[in-house]
Amino acid sequence: MGDGAMEKPFPRGKRLEGAGIRVRIDGLVKRFGGREVLRGLNLEIPPGEFVSIVGRSGCGKSTLLRLLAGLEDISSGTVDFDGSPPKNGYREDARIMFQDSRLLPWRTIVENTAIGLAGKKENVRACALDVLKQVGLADRADDWPGRLSGGQRQRVALARALIHRPRLLLLDEPLGALDALTRLEMQRLIENIWKRYEFTAVLVTHDVAEAVILGDRIVLIEDGLITFDEKVALPRPREYGQSEVAAIGRRALDRIMSVNSLNVRNQVKGKIVDIQLGQPLSEVVIEAAGGFIAATVSSRSLSEQPLELETEVLAFFKSNEVILAVNSGSE
């Protein structure tokens, strides 16, 4: 530390300072065996944008990131970076960070950070020390990964991605395993680093509030397609308690829970013909083409929707419950 090289981070100088990549995804399909996991997904990300991706488990979020990182082959459709298909795999421009740091236990922090970086030994070390400083870990450079906390390991994972000057940083639930306070700190760190380097960022998270706090935009994937895409035009930094953050998060969640995003299979159209009010559950009888269905639903959901006699509804059959929602699409 303390040598002149630190003033000049990233001496590779191969590309423009701070340039995020433009991503264009067209009709992206990914099949595993006969199963279509992504079903013709379209998404355009301007350079330097921070996109948050949410969606239920198994909807294809990690698959999308892996395709963007070039870790999997596309079944059909296209992914373009700056207007052309990425060359020689995508590794040069894109880096991915996972929920676990995947550090090599037999290498020191600085060595882990520098993995894959070519150049003279002292230059490589200077670069690694510089990015470690960015993530607040320069003083642990010669320590072993086993001696770091989970949050610190994720900082090293971030440094390891940053050292390659990614123009696209892919974050697959990078904070998912951290405690709440460390999570907040890491969110700030990621945001600050993103602002400083201006790469394009795609964050997958299960925490809708986190998605709002960090994203310029929230995208919801359901069943292999994007079903919700909303800009977050709030000043930064944002906080969990803010009412606007909660409101946007609520809209995304509502959408996740809404009729259109539920599976088109296992549903029956009908009309409410009887309601037995109770607390906290009520029984609702629906007349459908094939006969009557009695569904037990929370009384709160009756008043929220609202569900009344004569309301046209769709009944969704799940393995352990039937959900009723107003059938606003009925003719």
Ligand X SMILES: Nc1ncnc2c1ncn2[C@@H]1O[C@H](COP(=O)(O)OP(=O)(O)OP(=O)(O)O)[C@@H](O)[C@H]1O
Binding-site ranges for Mg ion (CB under 5 A): 62
Nearest distance in Å: CB 245, Mg ion: 23
Residue 59 binding target from Mg ion, ligand X, none, CB below 5 to 8 Å by type: ligand X
- Using CB atoms within 10 Å of the CB of residue 12, give its burial: 0 to 12 exposed, 13 to 18 middle, 19+ buried: middle
Nearest distance in Å: CB 30, ligand X: 8
Binding-site size for ligand X (CB under 6 A) equals 10
Residue 65 or 297 with smaller CB distance to ligand X:
65
Nearest distance in Å: CB 62, ligand X: 3
Spatial separation of the C-alpha atoms in residues 49 and 331, rounded to whole Å: 40
The answer to whether residue 62 forms part of the interface with ligand X (CB under 6 A) is yes
Residue 63 binding target from Mg ion, ligand X, none, CB below 5 to 8 Å by type: ligand X
The answer to whether residue 61 forms part of the interface with ligand X (CB under 6 A) is yes
The answer to whether residue 57 forms part of the interface with ligand X (CB under 6 A) is yes
DSSP 21-66: PPEEEEEEEEEETTEEEEEEEEEEE-TT-EEEEE--TTSSHHHHHH
Among 9, 20, 48, 60, binds ligand X (CB under 6 A): 60
The answer to whether residue 59 forms part of the interface with ligand X (CB under 6 A) is yes
The answer to whether residue 63 forms part of the interface with ligand X (CB under 6 A) is yes
Note the helical H segments in 148-295.
150-162, 180-197, 208-214, 243-256
Residue 96 or 325 with smaller CB distance to Mg ion:
96
**Residue 140: CA count within 13 A, CB half-sphere:** 21
Place of tokens 């003279």: 120
Spatial separation of the C-alpha atoms in residues 323 and 137, rounded to whole Å: 49
How is residue 23 written in tokens? 């991503």
Residues that bind ligand X (CB under 6 A): 32, 37, 55, 57-63
